Amino acid sequence: MASVSRLALGIILALGTASVVATGPADAKKKPPYTGPSFTLEERTSLSAVEAALQARNYSAASAALTTAQSAARGADARYQLAGLQLRLGRETNNVALQSSAVEALLASGRIPAAEQAPLYATQGVLASFARKRERAEASLTRALELAPTPDGAIALARVKLDLRKNEDAVALIDRAIEMQAATGQKAPEAWYRRGLTLATMNAMAPQAIKFSRALVAAYPSAQNWRDAVLLYRDYAKPDSATTLDATRLQRLSRALAGERDYFDAAQAFDGANLPGEAQSVFQEGVSDRMVDPAKATFKEAIATSKKKATTAKTKLAALRTAAASAATGTAALEAGDQYLSFGEYGVAADLYRTALQKGGIDPNVGNTRLGIALALAGNRPEADTAFQTVSGTRGDLAALWRVWLAQRA
């Protein structure tokens, strides 16, 4: 069961324990300096009884003494001291109602400095949440977050927002919690990213979902997370075939092709784009990783076809490069660059993509995406990152994912 944080409880108990002491007589002619809280004999006796019972862990006696002290406490100092002891009793006995009323009394006392109120508001919010008083929980946790913004505080408020069906607010709070955690130099738990991603996806919040997926693979670059990120991009962006091809490349390079179907679909996509060299390498990789059975009829035929096409296509590379050099626009250079990229000749491909961009007549977002890929695979990371940064539009989110992958190669 939730209770006040150790920090807040320590502050309260330190103040409280020190205050149950006898006070000396005051100088009648001048106001003495403040030396601590003042109690009547009855108040001091009843408060000491509660504290003694708590020290002995005699909770039935503490409860009885608390009742007596509640009747005896008349002054503000006594009521404040009593609230601290009540909070301790409620915490040690897991009595939510007792904790809740104690926290309310402490906050209402006006004795807690603003800088120390956040843990109390947070406790008040958690206790209200347990009691299903969600609006009260929302208000208290919001105040706690305002006073002392913390990742855990944002997550706690996000949970209440979800209970209140304020899903967009919850998504924003999870995003904020992740960013605050990052600001401390630590990455957030994977569950936070996944929760934000799930909520954003369920509520058709495409920009937020893509952002969460990108942050997820940046922090936790597993093959499954990469697969989810690429597929989510494809679902939301509805990219054209050329962009889908570059997304498939990223999925393959991040080791996120899962099972024979993924390998077959990827190889077929490259074959359909007249890139048999890449289709052949995908099949070879699938066989090497034991994801593809080359003896299976479907794969046996497809592998043989891709090999034959690749052999023919490779003989035409030099002619394509020559034609690209003399062409008036960059279209031929782009096509030639794609072929060289397909066969793993990344340096030549990068040169051809630069030519295509210089001559024009092509979509610069396509050209810069491909240039970034070729440079990345050639090991030229700084220039690759620069190329990816120039990409905008539908391809912008894909280029951002490529940049995450590129950063992980450093």
- Return the amino acid letter for 404: V
How confident is the model over 222-256, as pLDDT tens digits?
999 999 999 999 999 999 999 999 999 999 999 99
- Measured CA to CA in angstroms, residue 190 lies from 68, 212, 399, 407 at distances of 50, 11, 23, 19
User: What whole-number distance in Å separates Cα of residue 68 and Cα of residue 62?
Assistant: 10
14 token code pair: 């330190």
**What is the predicted pLDDT for the residue at 137?**
95
Name 372's Cβ contacts closer than 8 Å, sequence gap at least 6.
384, 385, 387, 388, 391, 399, 402, 406
- Measured CA to CA in angstroms, residue 250 lies from 120, 382, 401, 404 at distances of 48, 18, 8, 11
Taking a C-beta distance cutoff of 8 angstroms, is the pair 164, 132 a contact? Answer: no
- Second CATH level (architecture) for the domain 262-407: Alpha Horseshoe (1.25)
User: What whole-number distance in Å separates Cα of residue 112 and Cα of residue 83?
Assistant: 12
Residue 374 has pLDDT above 90, yes or no: yes
pLDDT greater at residue 370 or residue 10: 370
User: What whole-number distance in Å separates Cα of residue 125 and Cα of residue 150?
Assistant: 15
Place of tokens 């009793």: 89
As a whole number of angstroms, the longest Cα–Cα distance in the chain is 110
What average pLDDT score do residues 166-179 get? 97
**What is the predicted pLDDT for the residue at 110?**
83
**What is the predicted pLDDT for the residue at 364?**
97
Polymer length of the chain: 410
What average pLDDT score do residues 63-84 get? 89
User: What whole-number distance in Å separates Cα of residue 132 and Cα of residue 386?
Assistant: 52
HEC letters along the chain: CCCCCHHHHHHHHHHHHHHCCCCCCCCCCCCCCCCCCCCCHHHHHHHHHHHHHHHCCCHHHHHHHHHHHHHHCCCHHHHHHHHHHHHHHHHHCCCHHHHHHHHHHHHHCCCCCHHHCHHHHHHHHHHHHHCCCHHHHHHHHHHHHHHCCCHHHHHHHHHHHHHCCCHHHHHHHHHHHHHHHHHCCCCCCHHHHHHHHHHHHHCCCHHHHHHHHHHHHHHCCCHHHHHHHHHHHHHHHCCCHHHHHHHHHHHHHCCCCCHHHHHHHHHHHHHHCCCHHHHHHHHHHHHHCCCCCCCCHHHHHHHHHHHHHHHHHHCCHHHHHHHHHHCCCCHHHHHHHHHHHHCCCHHHHHHHHHHHHHHCCCCHHHHHHHHHHHHHHCCCHHHHHHHHHCCCCHHHHHHHHHHHHHHCCC
How confident is the model over 114-168, as pLDDT tens digits?
888 999 999 999 999 988 999 999 999 999 999 999 999 999 999 999 999 999 9
The whole-model pTM stands at 0.80
Residue 208 has pLDDT above 70, yes or no: yes
Taking a C-beta distance cutoff of 8 angstroms, is the pair 339, 277 a contact? Answer: yes
- Return the amino acid letter for 50: V
**What is the predicted pLDDT for the residue at 35?**
56
Residue 32 has pLDDT above 60, yes or no: no
Can you give the residue ranges of every domain in the chain?
1-20+38-126, 262-407
- Measured CA to CA in angstroms, residue 389 lies from 132, 305, 382, 384 at distances of 48, 37, 11, 9
User: What whole-number distance in Å separates Cα of residue 182 and Cα of residue 151?
Assistant: 9
Residue 1 has pLDDT above 50, yes or no: no
Residue 21 has pLDDT above 70, yes or no: no
Residue 18 has pLDDT above 80, yes or no: no
User: What whole-number distance in Å separates Cα of residue 255 and Cα of residue 223?
Assistant: 6
